[in-house]
Amino acid sequence: MTRAAYLQRGLPAHFTLLTLAVPMILANITTPLLGLVDTAVMGHMAVSAPLAGAAIGGLILTQIYWVCGFLRMSATGLSAQARGKQSSEEIAKTFYQTAFVGLAIGLLLLILQQPVLWAGLTLTAPSEVVSRFAETYFNVRVWGAPAALSNIALIGWLVGQQKTRAVLFIQVVGNLLNAGLDLLFVWSFGMGVEGVALASVIAEYTMVVMGLCVAIQHVDGVKPVWQWFSRSAQKVLMKLNGDMLLRNLALQGCLAFLTIQGARYGETATAVNAILMQFFVLIALGLDGIAYAVEATVGEAAGANSKQGVVIQTHRGLIWSSVVAIGYALAFYGLGDNIVWMLTDINALQTAAMPYLPLMVLLPLLAHWCFLFDGVFVGLTKAKSMRNTMIISALVVYFPVWFVLREAGNEALWWALLAFLLARGVTLGGSFYLYYVRAADQG
């Protein structure tokens, strides 16, 4: 692709970004829908212990998978830059390297499954009955770890290659298969918790096979070279993954603090926070989709050594991120109470949640900056900046704001979260301006 392609203006350029973003938004929507099916299947069992056990067993694994999200981020950035370089060898190299790392971590989790299970059950401290169901679920579901973590890397690589429609197709097929097998194994075969876990394992391996088929076809027959997997050859990838991991752990620490500190305010506050987090999940569906598209387009421009292209692609993403954020804010302003009523029919919780709705209106307006610039820095593979700004935002903004406002109780946690999200956007945006906007202007 020529340099001029990155500098094109007008509706075609915006249309290209949206054709990348919309499939990822739709793909994001399929995951919570699958969770609803899992919950509904187990929720119709005679007792509640299987549902609680599966929830805990699944939580242990999904938290690990979430932290390992650095696999997707690094794969997307490197893949997009390889596309910008128009190098078939570089494209293939990033595919084989990132897929290898995902598989290796998945196999390591498989080997360490019992210590991981013990740690998870120790932290959650379920009852004896619930613990047995959690162990049963985990012991089956963990065998899907190599596929699940390889999938994370594969999806990132495919996004970097702008194959978002393929990602959507893979996600939809995998989730529909999972839901169908849930019904078959549990309701027809009476397999209980084991059936739900097995359905997920089969779906995960199906998705990884589909992803590999698309990826292998896209690398145009380039075979892996053993030197690509040496320690020195993977040094850049390992450093990138390490910085992303620390970034994810810092973010997870802030979210965990909100959950734990909220629980100290009592049962009502805990339940209200669970409801409010669904607003956060809703904005992530749209804002993540825009961010994924920006990762791909910015990374491609960076791979082509076009600093001006990086700035232009960032500005396009910022326009659509702002549009989506304003749409969410208007929706929450007009329908926020309806969303709360849909999530709970308990009057006490509805009453307790209503005062937080103005904060939910502010949430997308303040948060979309960090979603957008996360995508920009993923595309640039500037993980160190992402790590540093995340830690600074947590230590200098999130915890101090909560401490100053702590007399406000649970509401202080949400003000701290809003300030934290805004700080992440400001620090990343400031870094981007210093390193890229100035450079593009001077160029």
Check pLDDT > 90 for residue 4: no
pLDDT-wise least confident of 65-69, 294-298, 332-336, 394-398: 65-69
| Per-residue confidence band for 381, with pLDDT thresholds at 50, 70 and 90 | very high
* Cα→Cα distances 336→328, 356, 363, Å: 10, 10, 12
pLDDT at 10: 56
Q: pLDDT category, 417, cuts 50, 70, 90?
A: very high
126: left (phi over 0), alpha (psi -120 to 50) or beta: beta
For residues 111-127, average pLDDT: 89
Question: Quick one: tokens of 81?
Answer: 């830059």
- CA dist 156 and 254 (Å) reads 25
pLDDT score recorded for residue 38: 67
CA 69/CA 245 separation, integer angstroms? 8
Which pLDDT score, from 0 to 100, does residue 360 have?
96
Residue 25's closest CA among 253, 365, 228, 287? Answer: 287
pLDDT reading at 117 higher than 50: yes
Q: Which of 114, 203, 89, 116 is nearest to 151 (CA)?
A: 203
Residue 408 pLDDT exceeds 80? yes
Q: What is the pLDDT of residue 333?
A: 96
pLDDT by residue (tens digit) across 347-364?
Answer: 888 898 899 999 999 999
Q: What is the per-residue pLDDT for 2?
A: 45
Predicted TM-score of the model (pTM): 0.87
- The pLDDT assigned to 44 comes to 61
Yes or no: say if 148 and 4 are a contact pair by the CB < 8 Å rule.
no
Q: Is the pLDDT reported for residue 13 higher than 60?
A: yes
Mean pLDDT of the chain: 88
* pLDDT band, very low/low/confident/very high, at 34 (cuts 50, 70, 90): low
Residues 166, 429: Cα–Cα separation, whole Å:
31
Longest CA–CA span in the chain (Å) reads: 69
Residue type, 334: G
- Positive or negative: CA dihedral 167, 172, 175, 180: negative
Give pLDDT, residue 1. 44
The pLDDT, as a whole number, for residue 39 is 63
Interval 295-317 mean pLDDT: 92
Residue 272 and residue 352 in contact, taking contact as beta carbons nearer than 8 Å: yes
Specify the pLDDT at position 110: 95
For the segment 209-237, what is each residue's pLDDT rounded down to a tens digit?
A: 999 999 999 988 788 888 887 777 678 88
